[in-house]
Structure 1
């Protein structure tokens, strides 16, 4: 495996600036998630690392080697696309074998069957090995697409929202399996998603992108607890962080325009009165939708709460986050 250094990456599509001076280091053996909304530049950055698209400026360094002008094959990376990238006329087995038969890899014949079998078992497609790709469901096709990357041992695995087309249970199962595989192999993963659950459960590091800029990079827990901006704070956490006027609960720091409260940062039983508008029982947690001084907010409470819509509950902030008019954090 190898580390990846992105040095001042910039990319334009006509008048649109897709990436703006993005610099980050993906440590060797790390699981790095690029997180952001549609149009943030996540996929563009992944394609530049893969060599499918050239950067207008900056350098891509993999394993200490500048690969900015190298072809995708020369970069020794494996990429999984959001849409299935399979050969429809081949069986599942033949699709999985295909990368191993490349003249660049020169995989011994006796190892090909073993590797294909191991990956098929992990992805729960062993019983489909002799099926044509066109006979598979969408979820099965994406598992084969992931398998085509896993059978190899590239320097870096690049994945562009590979689980987005799967049903909820399979997505949850594959999150666990991908993380386990990554840890056991010591593999370097660069993974694109807009799903914060994937980011929180799989990533060793998260890169938060906003309109082509890298706004924060670090462990997911660090970004959750110590975000640099409203945008970074809003990317992680369910329910989402409550962003309210700074002075809603009393005096605020100089320059503060907004107060940010995670659901667990709202202390109940003391403070000002708020109206319970809705109670959501979700099994492992219960969410309260409240109105406080004409502002809506969401918090979590005891799973067996007896509160009902129309009840009043006292709340106050605990360790709140403050942001200025531009949305940047005030410490």
Structure 2
């Protein structure tokens, strides 16, 4: 595995600046997630690292080596795509061993057998090795797709929303599995998603992208607690952060807008709010409030019950402040 360094990389498609002067370091053995909505530049960044797209400017270094003129095969990276990309006429064993039989790797047959057996155990599919790909469930096909990358032992794994087409339970199960596998192997992994839950639960580092620019890079906890802007603050957290005019609350405030995570709203004193509805979700209850025409979502004890229309008082606790443009105010 290797450290990957991006130095001022950029890529345009016509008039569209898909990646705009991104610099970041993916540490050796890290699980880095690129987070952002569709069109933020996540997949293009991945493709620039892999060599599937050519840089307009900047440098990609893998293991200290400039790979700008290298082909994707020469870069020694392994990609997992959103779609399974399996050979349907092949068995699971044949699909897993296929990358190892490339002219570049020239892996001996005994080594192929060992790696396929090892990866199938890690992915918990050894009993499926002789099944055709078409005989597998969606989750099993995605495990095989991930396994085709794992057998490679590359410099870095590049994964482009590999879990997005799966159902919610399977997605949650594979998140845990993927993080466990990465930790066990000590591999360097760059993962692209628009799903904040995937980012928060798996990443050692998160890079938040906005319109091709890297707007913040750090640990999940740092980005959650110390976002640089309203945009970044809104990317993480469920329910989403409440962004409100700061003059809704009495007293002096540091910025034009106040950001309140649901857990940072205290009840019992402060400004009057009216209950719109309560969402009982088992392990938590979300309370939707109206505060002078602004919707506020907070969390309450699951055993509490507030009927619609009831008035309660709320106040900020450890709020975040932003100026009128959305930039963080210290």
C-alpha displacement at 1:251, in angstroms? 4.2
Unpaired segments ≥5 residues, structure 2: none
Cα distance in 2 for partners of 1:310, 1:111 equals: 68
State the superposition RMSD in angstroms: 1.3
1:88 matched to which residue of 2?
A: 88
Q: What do the CA deviations read for 1:245-279 (whole angstroms, capped 9, x no partner)?
A: 1211134546x221110001101111112111111
- Post-superposition offset of 1:313: 1.4
Equivalence for 1:24: 24
Q: Which sections of structure 1, spanning at least 5 residues, go unmatched?
A: none
How far apart, CA to CA, are the structure 2 residues paired with 1:307 and 1:147? 49
Provide the residue aligned with 2:283 in structure 1. Answer: 284
* Aligned equivalents of 2:127, 2:278: Cα separation in 1: 44
Aligned to 2:240: 240
Counting matched residue pairs gives: 330
**Cα deviation per residue 1:89-121 (whole Å; 9 max; x = unaligned)?**
211110001112223223332232232223223
- In 1, the alpha carbon distance for the partners of 2:327 and 2:30 equals 28
Deviates more, 1:209-218 or 1:89-98: 89-98
- How far apart in 2 are the matches of 1:77 and 1:66? 14
Deviates more, 1:309-318 or 1:58-67: 309-318
TM-score (norm 2): 0.97
**1:196 and 2:196 aligned:** yes
TM (normalized to structure 1)? Answer: 0.96
Counterpart Cα distance in 2 of 1:313 and 1:124: 51
Contact 1:139 1:165 in 2 (8 A): no
TM-superposed deviation, 1:25 = 0.4
Paired with 2:55 and 2:191, the residues of 1 have a C-alpha distance of: 19
Task: Kindly provide the CA deviation profile for residues 189-222 of structure 1, in whole angstroms up to 9, marking residues without a partner as x.
Answer: 0000011111111000000000000000000100
**Quick one: distance in 1 between partners of 2:77 and 2:293?**
52
Deviates more, 1:280-289 or 1:118-127: 118-127
Matching residue of 1:69: 69
Does structure 1 residue 174 correspond to structure 2 residue 174?
yes
In structure 1, C-alpha distance between the alignment counterparts of 2:304 and 2:151, rounded to whole Å: 49
State the 1:127 CA deviation. 3.0
